[in-house]
Structure 1
Amino acid sequence: MSLDKITSSNIWLRLVNSEYDNLEPNELETKFKSIYLEETGELFEGNVEIYHSSDSKDVSSLESGYDGTALRITEGSEEKLFVINQGTTNGVDWNENIKAAFAGQSVKQAEATRVFTEDAKQQLNISEDTEVVSLGHSLGNHNSTVTGIVDNTFDEIYGVNGLQMPPYELLDYDPAFFREVRKEFNVATRDQVYDIPLNELAEFTKEFYSDSPVEIHQLISTDDPLYAVTEKAGFVTFGDVEMIDTNPEVNGIKELIDDIPDDVIGSLRDLAIKYAAADNKGGLNEVVYQMLGVKMEYLKEIEGKADILGWYAFHQDQFDETMRALDKNLPPLADKIRLITQNADTIFGRLYEEGYISKEQKDIMIKELGNIDKDLTRILKTLKGNVTLNDDGLTVSLAGDAALLLVALELQKSLTASAKNIMDSGILESLESIKDSHSINELLNALSGGNKSYSGTDLIFTTTGAGGEPIEVNMSAALRLYREGALIFEDKMSAIAKLEKAVHEEIQLAFKEERKKVLDEIYNIESNPKGYAYSRGWMHRYPLYEVESLKVMENVYPLERADLDEQIYEMKSSVDSGYKLIEDYRKAVEDLFAEEERLSQMFDLVRGI
């Protein structure tokens, strides 16, 4: 069955990867058919209808940042609806990661996934017995799993390096699950759920949804950072999972994550929960207020040092209120941050041991995080002193305020220097390999083997040159070039044929027709002189005369400057040269990969896409 080939090969992975390119419907259809040909060696001759979430009013009204594409794919009697759920791409998505997965305070994108799927079924006229399949990466796989196991939105889910299921999010999404958790663990409020041991809550979650009819299939890299945090964060994995080592040169960061103390993980979770609750209540301004007690409206006009001094001089009451709030709220927040900075040796030491960063980068990170910790201690001490001095009178208060401003300016320089040293160390570039292990590309390359690999959404073939050096050919680009080149030359030949027809019909035939009209009229005049004379009124003007004969002195010149044979020949020759060029290119590629039996067929079939 041709539609089964979509999920039984790399087609679905490459299709999910293509979703990040935000292609127009006609471009995505062409991309799908190209991928199908490259992976199967066969031309897909069915139909594809596409509906995007940006066209759904129901999804737009949720303001969730969700991005998805539905494809109704049919061939013969087969029909399936594939819904591609895009993963994390921007700040909105990362915000959803924190609020939903790590804090359990948002279900917007999971809800949007369900709403879009239902809308797509209506828009594309999907019947109830048509199989609905979700394809997703990262957050996209996560969203489809939430609505899949709770709402039965999908019959099957295929995910790659997906963000696994946090019980906290399911508590908000599924009231039935929340009721059972309250019974099982004897908790009365939502906040008390955070006191349940993570491993116990995870086990209960898996058991509760064990009867879900949706079939879930996951491909996960052992080097994927999301996989690394799954167990430690208490996330739950559903379905059958195939683990793949996509970067054999390193051991992955799971062991590193496992070495991080539980209280550090707990601190990160607490920060995420506070952030999410505040953001849900009122966005960034509320986040700052809830965490630090600072009112952002006081700071909206402040951009530089002069603004700070002006604020202090003209809004002393706001300044004092802000300092007191920071003195009260910053210390507990700083304690949580310190748990992270004080474990810098463990975190960056393990990154060095696993080969992700150099020793120099490890030392810089430990040093600069230590400096940040000292700066944090200094500002807390100065804040405490400032508030105390403000309580002691105006003169002392002014001295305290001046000291605080000087420390703040010094800390700005210090923190800027630390940030610059970290950036200049190149550690962010070194850690790119961790991000790469979350990508679809690295997993595709681990699956492919042989002379096949992938770059972006394209298929790469590799062979060995005469000197032993590797020669890589972007086969997707080669097939695109051949297809698009052939189409261009076909269009040109069609235009030349139309020109030839126009020359023949509009010029040569028209000339012959007009010449015949003239000669016919001459014949009529000469064969019936009297009739012609009467028709012209000559006999009325000259009644004494009689017309015996008429002779027309014609001189019809031949058609000149309408012979375009030479120009048309040149145009055809140019097209023939173009055809020869792409055929030579095709032959060169086929010669490089003579062992690839399907390659010639792929070139033949690609013109049918």
Structure 2
Amino acid sequence: MEEVLFSDELRGRIVDLEYGKLTEEEIKRIYFEETGKELTADIELYHASDYGQKLDIGKNGFDGTIIHFFDEDKGVNQVYSIARGSEMKEEENWRPEDWMYNTFGIFVGQNNGQYRDAQRFEQEITQIINKQTEKSDIDLMKIGLGHSLGGNTKQMQQLINQEFDRVYTINAAQPTVYQLAYTDREFRKELEKNFGLNPWNFSDIYTVDPEALVQFTEQYYKDAGNDIYRLVAEEDMMLAVSQNIRGFITVGHGEPIDTMADFAGIGDILGEIPDKDIQAIQTYMAKYASNYNNEGFDGAVAAMTGIDLKLIDKVMENDGFWDHVKDAPQIISEGIPMLQNMSKKIPELLTHLSVIHKNLDPILSAMVKHGYVNQDQKAAILDAVDGIEKDLQDIVEAINKALEPNLTTIGDVIDIINAYKTIKEKWNSITSHLDTIQMSLSDLMKALANSVEGHSIYNLLEALAADKGKAYKGKDLFMTVTSKGQKVKINLSSAVRIYTAGMAIYDEKEEVLGRLKTDYETSYLQDFENRKAKLLEKITDMEVNYSKYQYLLGSFTYDAYQKYVLTGINVHEDIPPLAENFKAAFEHMFHYYEQEIQQGREAMAKIKKTIEDYFKFDEELAGKIEAG
């Protein structure tokens, strides 16, 4: 059975919709733009956000949509399961949940929340679809789609559960040995057996030679990954990470595509970082995995630094000395434990930041070698980093001073407030140093921007379209056609939007016209006939039951009733029909709008036929080339 979304372009554009407006109408629009044919299968959409409460999913940042295409006559029963990729900020939440998950869930490997949520959502919707199609003889085909972090999630589902018939990823974050070992218990047992790992200490895995781990893991999951197809740009930052940072595996099929001829990516820089230093950072971060798993982003930051951001904000918002006095019990009872915690945590954090500092000179030398910075910029960066370390040390000293006994409650409060002020002052200094670093790394920032651009779906699609007479600008599809010997570039997406919007307008006009006709027939024609029928019914009643209408002759004395008796009623009715000019006015108006709608639909049909003819010509031309 041919896949409904049979091309990289179709799959890529549908996956991109997951970041914005994924609707049945948008799916059909993109399908028509890419194929020149209408998608006639029934489409049902299942959004993970609608199942958050029922399935208890989404708290780790997971989101996605499952699309079900069904057409009994054409033998179509296909599911496309899309997991959304990383986003810098979540809706209504400033915290970079997805990128924190990238750190703890992939690099450290000790969180499987997104995989777990995706699998739970998958099983729920598959049951619903199977029940809806239980009378059909068509087997259900399941396909996984994902970009970035979403691609990582789909690969995890496939490697561990063989959930799909096929998986297609776009610039995906590759799985790591560590996240697979954390999630797949059977695989973990094999690692323990082959590498002598301590089953009670997961961090033991970070001490094993990463190349040996990767080789073993790729062999272990080779068959499970055989139906994974990777679409990736050479310049993608996630590719650079997976090629130069420990623990990432590569399974399935797909070679990197060059999407930016003048940019080679940032892998050469990442490759300068020694593995032992990456291991040190990985081991350090692993210590806080449980805090992240239990308390999320805030819990991890608090555990790593000891900072209670809410308390600091509250204290610094106080207006003057007497507000501090009023809050003295809370400042002392909560502030001192926090500062004590910070006095331990920040030096530990400084120790691991020094790993990066230690490697700065060779890394910056590599940047100089590759043309990302010059010697003056390198010196400025090193000076700024020295300044940041000095500021952090000053913060630690201020905290230690605040923790010295003052022997007075107010004195303790003042010392704590002064520590907060020092923290704020030094933070402003750190920010200034960071600005210096940013200015000195302007060329590198451009490279990173290019790497981020290389990570986008449409950057890859643009590269794929280059040899097909197609191009993507923004999210619009352009086709190149030859007219009178000249090449003309047509915005096909714009044409489809005109057709779709136009047909929607004429559908609405037709619906309004139908309501007007109904109102006309009800309020005038039918009402006239109803009134006429009631009148004739009354006339018939008067003629048949004339005695009931004796009172119409007036009032008489009792003896006069014997003389003045109603003996019959005979009505001579003359009910003229509705005036012809009255009906003609409405019918003329209806006819005018019917013609206008018909002409509009014909104009839209010409646009549609032009698109269909282009694809027909393209297919015929391709056939001639193949035959020749």
What TM-score comes out, normalization by structure 1 length? 0.78
Name the SS for the 2:33 alignment partner: helix
Q: Deviations over 1:437-488 (max 9, x none)?
A: 111111111111244233565433467999x998662x33432332332233
- Residue equivalent to 2:103: 98
Matched, 1:173 2:183: yes
Matched, 1:459 2:472: no
Whole-Å Cα distance in 2 between the matches of residues 414 and 277 of structure 1?
Answer: 33
Deviates more, 1:328-337 or 1:212-221: 328-337
Q: 1:409 to 1:97 in 2, by over 3 A?
A: closer
Matched, 1:242 2:247: no
1:181-330 alignment to 2 at 5 Å? 181-188=191-198, 189-212=201-224, 215-233=227-245, 234-283=247-296, 286-288=299-301, 290-293=303-306, 299=312, 301-303=314-316, 310=324, 325-330=341-346
- Residue equivalent to 2:143: 133
Matched, 1:82 2:80: yes
Q: Deviations over 1:371-413 (max 9, x none)?
A: 2432322542674598599879999x99999997786454233
Q: 1:368 to 1:318 in 2, by over 3 A?
A: farther
Q: 8 Å contact 1:245–1:446 — kept in the other structure?
A: yes
Whole-Å Cα distance in 2 between the matches of residues 469 and 491 of structure 1?
Answer: 37
Q: Deviations over 1:92-139 (max 9, x none)?
A: 222211111011110111122222111111111267953321111111
Matched, 1:122 2:139: no
The correspondence for 1:46, drawn from 29, 41, 46, is 41
Paired residue total: 584
- Residue equivalent to 1:606: none
Whole-Å Cα distance in 2 between the matches of residues 383 and 200 of structure 1?
Answer: 41
Q: Deviations over 1:172-203 (max 9, x none)?
A: 11122122212211222322111111111111
Whole-Å Cα distance in 2 between the matches of residues 286 and 532 of structure 1?
Answer: 91
Q: 8 Å contact 1:463–1:593 — kept in the other structure?
A: no
Whole-Å Cα distance in 2 between the matches of residues 149 and 4 of structure 1?
Answer: 21
Whole-Å Cα distance in 1 between the matches of residues 393 and 194 of structure 2?
Answer: 43
The correspondence for 2:427, drawn from 398, 412, 419, is 412
Name the SS for the 1:488 alignment partner: helix
Q: 8 Å contact 1:161–1:220 — kept in the other structure?
A: yes
- Residue equivalent to 1:18: 17
Deviates more, 1:93-102 or 1:64-73: 64-73
Q: 8 Å contact 1:84–1:135 — kept in the other structure?
A: yes
- Residue equivalent to 1:476: 493
Whole-Å Cα distance in 2 between the matches of residues 134 and 244 of structure 1?
Answer: 21
What amino acid is aligned across from residue 164 of structure 2 in structure 1?
Answer: F
Name the SS for the 1:74 alignment partner: strand
Whole-Å Cα distance in 2 between the matches of residues 288 and 187 of structure 1?
Answer: 29
- Residue equivalent to 2:25: 30
What amino acid is aligned across from residue 75 of structure 2 in structure 1?
Answer: S
- Residue equivalent to 1:64: 60
Q: Deviations over 1:208-242 (max 9, x none)?
A: 22232761111111111000011222300111113
Q: 1:374 to 1:559 in 2, by over 3 A?
A: same
How far is 1:569 from its partner?
4.0
Whole-Å Cα distance in 2 between the matches of residues 170 and 7 of structure 1?
Answer: 30
Deviates more, 1:147-156 or 1:437-446: 147-156
Whole-Å Cα distance in 1 between the matches of residues 376 and 481 of structure 2?
Answer: 42
Deviates more, 1:381-390 or 1:137-146: 381-390
What amino acid is aligned across from residue 172 of structure 2 in structure 1?
Answer: G
What amino acid is aligned across from residue 190 of structure 1 in structure 2?
Answer: F
Name the SS for the 1:72 alignment partner: strand
Whole-Å Cα distance in 2 between the matches of residues 430 and 144 of structure 1?
Answer: 29
What amino acid is aligned across from residue 249 of structure 1 in structure 2?
Answer: D
Name the SS for the 1:21 alignment partner: coil
What amino acid is aligned across from residue 67 of structure 1 in structure 2?
Answer: D
Matched, 1:162 2:160: no
Q: 1:268 to 1:435 in 2, by over 3 A?
A: farther
What amino acid is aligned across from residue 460 of structure 1 in structure 2?
Answer: F
Whole-Å Cα distance in 1 between the matches of residues 147 and 214 of structure 2?
Answer: 22
What amino acid is aligned across from residue 471 of structure 2 in structure 1?
Answer: S
Q: 8 Å contact 1:84–1:134 — kept in the other structure?
A: yes
Matched, 1:437 2:454: yes
What amino acid is aligned across from residue 194 of structure 1 in structure 2?
Answer: Y
State the percentage of identical aligned residues: 24
- Residue equivalent to 1:6: 5
Matched, 1:108 2:113: yes
Q: 8 Å contact 2:478–2:489 — kept in the other structure?
A: no
Q: 8 Å contact 1:157–1:214 — kept in the other structure?
A: no
Q: Deviations over 1:307-361 (max 9, x none)?
A: 8995998867976766665454434422432443565566567668778x7x69x
How far is 1:243 from its partner?
1.7
- Residue equivalent to 1:602: none
Whole-Å Cα distance in 2 between the matches of residues 198 and 134 of structure 1?
Answer: 28
- Residue equivalent to 1:604: none
Matched, 1:151 2:161: yes
Gaps of 5+ in 2: 91-95, 555-559, 619-628
What amino acid is aligned across from residue 84 of structure 1 in structure 2?
Answer: I
Q: 8 Å contact 1:436–1:442 — kept in the other structure?
A: yes
Whole-Å Cα distance in 2 between the matches of residues 590 and 215 of structure 1?
Answer: 38
Gaps of 5+ in 1: 600-609
Q: 8 Å contact 2:206–2:283 — kept in the other structure?
A: no
Q: 8 Å contact 1:70–1:81 — kept in the other structure?
A: yes
What amino acid is aligned across from residue 102 of structure 1 in structure 2?
Answer: F
What TM-score comes out, normalization by structure 2 length? 0.76
Q: 1:462 to 1:380 in 2, by over 3 A?
A: same
- Tell me how large the CA RMSD over aligned residues is: 4.8
Q: 8 Å contact 1:17–1:457 — kept in the other structure?
A: no
What amino acid is aligned across from residue 10 of structure 2 in structure 1?
Answer: I
Whole-Å Cα distance in 2 between the matches of residues 162 and 378 of structure 1?
Answer: 38
